[in-house]
A = this chain, B = another copy of it.
Amino acid sequence: MGKIYVVGMGPGKEEYMTMEAVTALDLSDIIVGYTVYVDLLRDKYKEKELLTTGMRQETQRCELCLEKAKEGKVVSLVCSGDAGVYGMASLMFQIAKDDPDMEIEVVAGVTAALSGGALLGAPLGHDFCVISLSNLLTPWELIERRLRSAALGDFAMAIYNPSSKSRPDHLKKACEILSEYIDGTRPCGIVRNIGRDEQSFLVCTLDELSGVQTDMFTTVFIGNSRSEIINGRLVTPRGYIENEK
């Protein structure tokens, strides 16, 4: 029996991976993943078997890992960001349900809420929510309910998948819902192309956010009621009680 690592690569480049993730890849016979992410590893792991599947072929990708691990191979299933947060880890556990002896080790990585947050400043310095606006696998009504709940709880928010070609207006719709609860001057921010050479960030208000162009490589941040812009960075204080000594 082999073993399956589900490895979060962080935002892309090797420098953003943990050393634990690099070790898992080093120990693997086979690396499996979406083409774009496996390509990032091609130079370093020339001697290993690299297997790719296309976008949306997540189930096939996990089945391939299970099949190879049952043949006795050590397999790393790679994903961007963290392995668990909208990642492949949960699907891998589901696909391997009938193989209780298969060893599955999840290797955490830096998800966009953290890597994007670092670039923007410290938007998630207090309790926060992570919400995806993709309704591919989630009913839009539930996404709306989560936005409302997050606003009512005064959570800071990191918003993934703010829009795509097939749903260009999701962020605008989300901003409209949040505006029912949150003042239009609330400090917000967006980060584009995290971990790539062309990465950039922008701080803005909730009102301005509604009109900002975003795509699948954008992560959006909404401050809480105490967030402020300090020297161009979005900062959410660690507490509500001033001056902890």
Q: Could you list which residues of chain A lie within 8 angstroms of chain B, going by C-beta atoms?
A: 8, 10, 14-20, 22-23, 56-59, 82-87, 89-94, 96-97, 100, 104, 106-111, 114-115, 117-119, 121-132, 136-139, 142, 145-146, 148-150, 152-155, 230-231, 233, 235-241, 243-245
Bound complex: CA A126 to CA B125 (Å): 21
Bound complex: CA A138 to CA B132 (Å): 27
Measured between beta carbons, the chain B residues less than 8 angstroms from A57 are: 245
- Interface contact B149-A238, CB-CB below 8 Å: no
Query: How many chain copies does the complex carry?
Result: 2
Measured between beta carbons, the chain B residues less than 8 angstroms from A14 are: 19
Please give me the residue from chain B that is nearest to A226 by CB atom: B90
What 5 pairs across the A-B complex have the smallest Cβ distances? A137-B239, A149-B153, A90-B125, A89-B122, A90-B122
Bound complex: CA A25 to CA B118 (Å): 16
| 11 A-B contacts (beta carbon < 8 Å) | A15-B18, A15-B19, A15-B20, A16-B108, A85-B125, A89-B118, A89-B235, A93-B233, A128-B130, A129-B129, A137-B238
Closest-CB distance, A19 to chain B (whole angstroms): 5
- Interface contact B155-A97, CB-CB below 8 Å: no
Closest-CB distance, A188 to chain B (whole angstroms): 16
Measured between beta carbons, the chain B residues less than 8 angstroms from A110 are: 18, 82, 108-110, 114
- Interface contact A145-B137, CB-CB below 8 Å: no
Please give me the residue from chain B that is nearest to A245 by CB atom: B56
- Interface contact B97-A108, CB-CB below 8 Å: no
Measured between beta carbons, the chain B residues less than 8 angstroms from A244 are: 56, 58-59, 136-137
Bound complex: CA A91 to CA B93 (Å): 39
- Interface contact B125-A154, CB-CB below 8 Å: no
Contacts A59-B245, A235-B93, A237-B94 given; indicate if A146 touches B155 (C-beta within 8 A).
yes
Residue of B19, B85, B89, B97 near A17 (CB, 8 A) is B19
Residue of B56, B108, B124 near A114 (CB, 8 A) is B108
Measured between beta carbons, the chain B residues less than 8 angstroms from A138 are: 126-127, 239-241
Measured between beta carbons, the chain B residues less than 8 angstroms from A119 are: 106
Bound complex: CA A93 to CA B90 (Å): 36
Please give me the residue from chain B that is nearest to A97 by CB atom: B230
Closest-CB distance, A46 to chain B (whole angstroms): 20
- Interface contact A84-B124, CB-CB below 8 Å: yes
